[in-house]
Amino acid sequence: MTGRRSATEAPLLNRIAELRERAKLSRLELAELVGVNSQTIGYLERGEYNPSLALAFRLSDVFSLPVEKIFIRTRSRQGRRA
């Protein structure tokens, strides 16, 4: 986990909760599969933390999806990706 995001950093949106529920996994089960604490999964789902690259890839493996199908940056005010 990389820690809390800074106030100037664009939020990183994710589909973790949706994908976890679709896979019928609890937060604890997903946490065990990717090697983190279940609280970390909650923080990620709420957007309170951004994952490390390694964790993003482990989540990608669990859900059998490319990272960009799980995570996306919000668009800036100019309509470009942040």
Per-residue model confidence (pLDDT) at position 8:
59
Instruction: Tell me if 47 is assigned to some domain.
Output: yes
Predicted pLDDT at 1: 46
- Number of structural domains (the chain) is 1
Task: Note down pLDDT in tens along the chain; length 82 residues.
Answer: 456 655 556 678 999 999 999 999 999 999 999 999 999 999 999 999 999 999 999 999 999 999 999 998 875 544 444 4
So what's the pLDDT on residue 18?
97
pLDDT at 61: 98
Domain region containing 57 = 12-71
Instruction: Look up the pTM and report it.
Output: 0.78
- CATH code of the domain in which 56 resides: 1.10.260.40
Look-up of token digits 């919000």:
74
Kindly state the helix (H) or strand (E) to which residue 41 belongs, with its residue range: helix 38-45
Task: Please tell me the chain's helix, strand, coil percentages from 3-state DSSP, rounded to the nearest 5.
Answer: 45, 10, 45
